[in-house]
Amino acid sequence: MSRRIGDQLGGDVGVKETNAVTVAVLDDYQDAARAFGPWSELGEADVTVFTDHVAQAGALIERLAPFDVIVAMRERTRFPRAVLERLPRLRLLVSTGMSAGHIDLAAAGERGITVCGTGGRGEPPAELTWALILGLTRHVAEEDAGIRAGSWGLTVGTDLAGATLGVIGLGHLGHRVARVGLAFGMRVIAWSQNLDPEVAAAAGAEPVTKETLLREADVVTIHLKLSGRTTGLIGAADLALLKPTALLVNTSRGPIVDEAALVDALRSGRIGGAGLDVFDAEPLPPDHPLRSTPRTVLTPHIGYVSASAYRVFYGDAVEDIRAFLDGQPIRLLS
């Protein structure tokens, strides 16, 4: 689905022929871009917002061929060489955030495509992490469904006070999550491949080995960037180290955890539960096994989906476009 920003603000429209700069805003699942971005500052630019996701390369190229500027929502859509080479009008690609792992920057540079990023907010994903942890430990979704079905009191919750929180990745987000764990009265332990003991101490966390963290934590939460060395970081052997009551929470990126191994561990009862905001394939396919896997709380990659974050994302995107059109691009990623 597409929606034009302008006179037809509320209607579904196609892309019309125009001499104005054409701008595509992608993967706006919540149809929020129009409300949070100051698009009128772009003057006569022709802005179209797409509220659905296109994964197949051919269909994506057909959709985006008419556009001079593309605004991508983080990694929801990938731009490999094979796609960029078939977008002859594309002059500027803006990705919300300052990460470009989903864009072939070399191919963009060769074609004269400028790639820019935006600022962001670190608080929303840390807050969602705790929403998932609390949802799991107090069985919020199950109790809500039970009340609506006529029951009253189905579960017994798990205390956080006195439990152990294991934080994998103690950067900005991991640090914020760790501090909240301390406020709940939890023991906090942490591991990453290059964890500085001083950084751990500043977060109130005890640095431990990966194996120790997995064996001792009651809640394991992941806060790492996806890369070659973090893909598959938590596999079947790692999940086997967890307590049968342990909870795994992932608000970073799906491929950090072996998804098939996680489904198996949950269905066999080898771990207590999982709170997941990220998946290998997004949107999650209708027949995906996680949709029917027990002891899970699932959210649709909404860690950064908040009013404050969207104001920054779309506000900076408009600023990026204006600066580019003025011949002075900012927040360059290429």
Condensed to tens digits (0 to 9), the pLDDT of residues 319-329 reads: 999 999 999 99
Task: Examine residue 333 and state whether it is found in any structural domain, yes or no.
Answer: no
As given in the structure block, the two tokens for residue 114 are 């400028």
DSSP structure string for 101-164 = TTB-HHHHHHTT-EEE-----SHHHHHHHHHHHHHHHTTHHHHHHHHHHT----------TT-E
Same domain, 262 and 311: no
Same domain, 68 and 182: no
Same domain, 7 and 78: yes
Task: Examine residue 331 and state whether it is found in any structural domain, yes or no.
Answer: no
Same domain, 187 and 111: no
Q: Of 3, 34, 139, 301, which is the active-site residue?
A: 301
β 164-168/219-222 pair status: parallel
Same domain, 225 and 106: no
**Does residue 3 carry a catalytic annotation?**
no
Residues 106, 217: Cα–Cα separation, whole Å? 42
Same domain, 84 and 138: no
Same domain, 229 and 291: yes
Task: Examine residue 87 and state whether it is found in any structural domain, yes or no.
Answer: yes
**What is the per-residue burial (b if ≥16 Cβ within 10 Å, else e) of 251-275?**
bbbbbbbbbebbbebbeeebbbbbb
Same domain, 166 and 51: no
What is the number of other CB atoms lying within 10 angstroms of the CB of residue 311? 15
219 beta partners? 165, 247
**Owning domain of residue 178:** 123-298
Same domain, 73 and 160: no
> Using one digit for the tens of pLDDT, what is the confidence trace for 92-142?
999 999 988 899 999 999 999 999 999 987 789 999 999 999 999 999 999
Indicate left, alpha or beta for 226 from its phi (over 0: left) and psi (-120 to 50: alpha): beta
Task: Examine residue 290 and state whether it is found in any structural domain, yes or no.
Answer: yes
According to DSSP, residue 205 is labeled: -
Mean pLDDT of the chain: 93
Residue 51's CATH number: 3.40.50.720
**Percent of the chain beyond pLDDT 90?**
91
Same domain, 71 and 200: no
Same domain, 89 and 137: no
| Domain count along the chain | 2
Whether the predicted pLDDT of 9 surpasses 50 = no
Task: Examine residue 334 and state whether it is found in any structural domain, yes or no.
Answer: no
**Side chain identity at 303, as an amino acid letter?**
G
Helices 307-325/123-137 angle, 10° precision: 150
**Does residue 282 carry a catalytic annotation?**
yes
Q: Of 142, 143, 206, 282, which is the active-site residue?
A: 282
Consecutive H or E run containing 317:
helix 307-325
Same domain, 184 and 150: yes
Residues 49, 2: Cα–Cα separation, whole Å? 5
Q: Of 4, 139, 253, 319, which is the active-site residue?
A: 253
> Using one digit for the tens of pLDDT, what is the confidence trace for 47-106?
999 999 999 999 999 999 999 999 999 989 999 999 999 999 999 999 999 988 899 999
